[in-house]
């Protein structure tokens, strides 16, 4: 059950930027704005639950990869890797800021048919052109490097051991939030319940808080995660984002592997990886509808009927395993093309999207936060051209096709 939070009153009646949602993406935008010397405006971050207990941020598996089929997605993850590896420098060499743990055991995309091998090899060209360390491996090469796999049905795989794997996204989030606050961003425990547009309908003039205050705003940033459409509807905007449940299980093995388990994407859609001394596995359900915003009930039949049999088949050593923890979280699932929706609305010009990441949010948060801050400050993207993610592609029915979606 959702907790009722005591609302706070804002310090001002007007802000240059109002960010709705203070989790990973909202805090990324706030931090990059405060880090930009050319931005000198005021920032209000409105978050209904400062515990973040029911956010996608709280349920993330916190991994990153460069194995995408589109160049811009590769570049986005490469910036994330650089940011994580050089976190202290990016945070201004603040001696309080710790280094971030980054475990590069890589992703292993297994292919059991020639069609998917062709997809992997086409994606490999894109990744290698960007300087990624991805390599195609035959079944024999996989067996030599990772003898624990059962590869009877596998033809080959793409694998990359450079800047792919688990990173400490929780610490990254905590320090973005803390640093943004110290630099003047105001975080408010409250809820936006309405928006008022100007007479032409081309701008949001103000937001109304649950506590009753009406706040004038220069720009509104929708960083509401799976609830993005509830926020956009206040401005009369529909977006194709809905909550979809994703299931994660942590398990112990009676016979642990003698080396790291790459984040393995089985042809079935099940994925698994090392998790410290344990292992992590997850998957979408076979029937994958939108769910209620409050539905975080775990479905243990998914473990018994789907995950465990597939895991034990792929790695026979995992026949004897025991679940020690599990949870269900929500993807902010973009039903249009499963990629981010970014940038301004084509008609409500000061309404900015940071939505629909469909499971890519943590690894894409540094580049998306930086790009959104550039857009707000300069009116354009500068470091990376993120315009392929603009909302107008939805209006024009032009999906951004990314073949490597988990």
- Tell me the CATH class for 104-163+242-332: alpha beta
- With CA atoms as reference, report the closest residue to 328 among 227, 244, 228: 244
Q: What is the number of alpha carbons within 13 Å of residue 133 lying toward its C-beta?
A: 14
What pLDDT digit, counting tens, does each position of 91-112 carry?
A: 999 999 999 999 999 999 999 9
If you ran DSSP here, which 8-state letter would residue 317 be given? G
Residue corresponding to tokens 């515990």: 51
Task: Supply 91's token pair.
Answer: 């945070």
Task: Supply 17's token pair.
Answer: 């930027």
CATH level 3 topology of 14-60+170-240+336-395: FAD/NAD(P)-binding domain (3.50.50)
Q: Which helix (H) or strand (E) holds 292?
A: none
pLDDT of residue 322: 97
pLDDT of residue 251: 98
pLDDT of residue 1: 44
CB atoms closer than 10 angstroms to residue 292: 10
State the pTM of this model: 0.95
CB atoms closer than 10 angstroms to residue 364: 27
* Residue 15, SS3 per DSSP: strand
Task: Supply 180's token pair.
Answer: 């943004």
The segments of the chain whose pLDDT lies below 70 read 1-4, 58
Sign of CA dihedral 296, 301, 306, 311: positive
pLDDT of residue 176: 97
pLDDT of residue 284: 86
Distance CA 6, CA 4 (A): 7
If you ran DSSP here, which 8-state letter would residue 337 be given? T
Distance CA 184, CA 304 (A): 49
* Sequence spans of domains, the chain: 14-60+170-240+336-395, 104-163+242-332
């Amino acid at each position: 059950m959702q907790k009722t939070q005591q609302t706070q009153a804002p310090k001002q009646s007007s802000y240059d930027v109002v960010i709705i949602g203070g989790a990973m993406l909202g805090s990324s935008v706030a931090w990059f704005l405060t880090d930009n010397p050319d931005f000198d405006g005021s920032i209000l971050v409105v978050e209904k639950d400062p515990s973040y207990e029911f956010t996608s941020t709280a349920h993330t598996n916190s991994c990153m990869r460069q194995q995408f089929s589109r160049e811009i997605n590769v570049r986005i993850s490469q910036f994330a890797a650089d940011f994580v590896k050089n976190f202290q420098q990016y945070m201004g060499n603040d001696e309080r800021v710790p280094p971030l743990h980054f475990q590069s055991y890589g992703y292993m995309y297994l292919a059991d048919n020639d069609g998917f091998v062709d997809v992997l090899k086409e994606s490999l060209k894109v990744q290698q052109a960007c300087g990624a360390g991805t390599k195609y491996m035959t079944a024999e090469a996989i067996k030599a490097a990772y003898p624990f796999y059962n590869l009877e049905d596998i033809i080959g795989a793409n694998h990359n051991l450079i800047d792919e794997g688990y990173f400490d996204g929780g610490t990254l989030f905590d320090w973005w939030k803390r640093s943004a606050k110290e630099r003047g961003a105001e975080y408010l425990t409250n809820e936006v319940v309405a928006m008022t547009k100007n007479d032409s309908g081309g701008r949001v003039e103000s937001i109304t808080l649950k506590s009753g205050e009406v706040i004038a705003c220069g720009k509104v940033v929708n960083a509401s995660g799976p609830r993005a459409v509830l926020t956009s509807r206040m401005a009369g905007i529909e977006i194709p984002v809905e909550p979809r449940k994703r299931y994660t299980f942590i398990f112990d093995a009676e016979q642990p592997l003698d080396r790291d388990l790459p984040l393995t994407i089985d042809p079935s859609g099940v994925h698994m990886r090392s998790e410290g001394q344990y292992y992590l596995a997850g998957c979408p359900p076979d029937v994958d509808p939108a769910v209620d915003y409050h539905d975080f009930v775990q479905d243990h039949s998914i473990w018994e009927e789907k995950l465990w049999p597939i895991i034990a088949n792929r790695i026979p050593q995992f026949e004897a395993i025991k679940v020690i923890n599990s949870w269900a979280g929500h993807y902010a699932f973009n039903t249009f093309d499963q990629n981010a929706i970014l940038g301004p609305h084509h008609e409500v010009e000061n309404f900015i999207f940071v939505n629909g990441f469909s499971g890519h949010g943590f690894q894409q948060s540094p580049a998306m936060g930086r790009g959104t801050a550039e857009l707000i400050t300069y009116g354009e993207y500068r470091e990376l051209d993120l315009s392929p993610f603009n909302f107008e592609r939805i209006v024009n029915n032009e999906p951004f096709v990314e073949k490597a979606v988990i």
